[in-house]
Amino acid sequence: MNVTAHLPNDPAVEIRPGVFRPDWSLVTKRRAREALTGRLAARAGLLDRWALRLEAAEDLIWRTVLRLYADCGRPPMLADIAAASGIAADDIAGTLQTLWKHDLVALDPHSGDIRLAYPFTQVATGHRVELQGHVLHAPCAIDALGIADMYSTNVAISSRCHHCGAPVRVETASEGKALRSVMPSAAAVWYDFAYDASAATSCCPAIAFFCSEDHRRQWLNDQTPRREGIGLTMDEALEVGRAIFGPVLVEGSSDIQT
């Protein structure tokens, strides 16, 4: 069974009319392209659970959660989402369960509170993102790098080398479309292809920053079994992050909001 053979060259999901995720038009670098296609091929064509088109009301709630998360620096409560979206809180609770099934958010199993909505999590992952006066945590390095373009702003990311613990700091420019600074200048990223039900608990812990290509290689050599994935420069990783997160808040080409 080779499902990938039947997929188009650039598999993407039209998340709303005219908005495709990932956005292949942003991908200019060969290894960034290999990262996005390799992830799919490594899993025999299994798409991430987020790779689908939501109903209009689900899509509105998803975007409302992400806007409020960034604006407030914390996950929104049901009442916040209801006030911002005009949808009744009872309906929102059910929709959040649907978004959880699609691995777009994660909820506290007891309280139902939002604990994660990619590219943000309440878990202290070590990837700290300074966004509009708030400090938020990203589940992985690629999520962190996609945030600025997604919100049309700039961010500063503070993390540590996944091998030696040395500080890594990345600042964006041009509303997230470019890198302003990378310290150390040779800092790199590992993009892992593992996926099992939830990105946050499968691939994310291994999608990390490294102070150098050398430390990324040393870390990779220490892994058993050997991990499937691809090493990226920071420029390449920025393209992957933008391709995945850039489309998330883009309005559809026709009026789908009610």
DSSP state of 6: G
Q: Is residue 218 close enough to count as binding Zn ion by CB under 5 A?
A: no
Q: Quick one: which of 148, 182, 177 has its CA closest to 167?
A: 182
**Residues in contact with Zn ion, shown as a per-residue x/- string from 121 to 160 under the rule CB under 5 A:** ----------------------------------------
Q: Considering only residues 44, 72, 79, 164, which one is a binding residue for Zn ion as defined by CB under 5 A?
A: 164
Q: Is residue 16 close enough to count as binding Zn ion by CB under 5 A?
A: no
Task: Count the alpha carbons within 13 Å of 17 in the hemisphere toward its beta carbon.
Answer: 7
When the beta carbons of 45 and 126 are compared against Zn ion, the nearer one is 126
Q: Is residue 163 close enough to count as binding Zn ion by CB under 5 A?
A: yes
Give least dist CB 161 to Zn ion, A. Answer: 3
Give least dist CB 62 to Zn ion, A. Answer: 36
Task: Count the alpha carbons within 13 Å of 33 in the hemisphere toward its beta carbon.
Answer: 9
How distant is the alpha carbon of residue 44 from its chain centre?
21
Q: Is residue 54 close enough to count as binding Zn ion by CB under 5 A?
A: no
When the beta carbons of 184 and 252 are compared against Zn ion, the nearer one is 184
Q: Considering only residues 15, 106, 211, 234, which one is a binding residue for Zn ion as defined by CB under 5 A?
A: 211
When the beta carbons of 13 and 220 are compared against Zn ion, the nearer one is 220
Candidates 16-24, 58-66, 148-156, 210-218; binding stretch for Zn ion (CB under 5 A): 210-218
Give least dist CB 219 to Zn ion, A. Answer: 8
Q: How far apart are CA 99 and CA 93, in angstroms?
A: 10
Q: Is residue 208 close enough to count as binding Zn ion by CB under 5 A?
A: no
Candidates 77-85, 203-211, 238-246, 247-255; binding stretch for Zn ion (CB under 5 A): 203-211
How distant is the alpha carbon of residue 31 from its chain centre?
18
Please tell me the chain's helix, strand, coil percentages from 3-state DSSP, rounded to the nearest 5: 40, 20, 40
Q: Quick one: which of 47, 69, 57, 134 has its CA closest to 98?
A: 57
Task: Count the alpha carbons within 13 Å of 53 in the hemisphere toward its beta carbon.
Answer: 12
Q: What is the DSSP string of 55-122?
A: PHHHHHHHHHHHHHHHHHTSPPPHHHHHHHH---HHHHHHHHHHHHHTTSEEE-TTT--EEEETTEES
- Quick check: 32 and 189 in contact, CB under 8 A? no
Q: Considering only residues 161, 188, 238, 240, which one is a binding residue for Zn ion as defined by CB under 5 A?
A: 161
Give least dist CB 113 to Zn ion, A. Answer: 35
**How many binding residues for Zn ion (CB under 5 A)?**
6
Binding site for Zn ion (CB under 5 A): 161, 163-164, 166, 211, 215
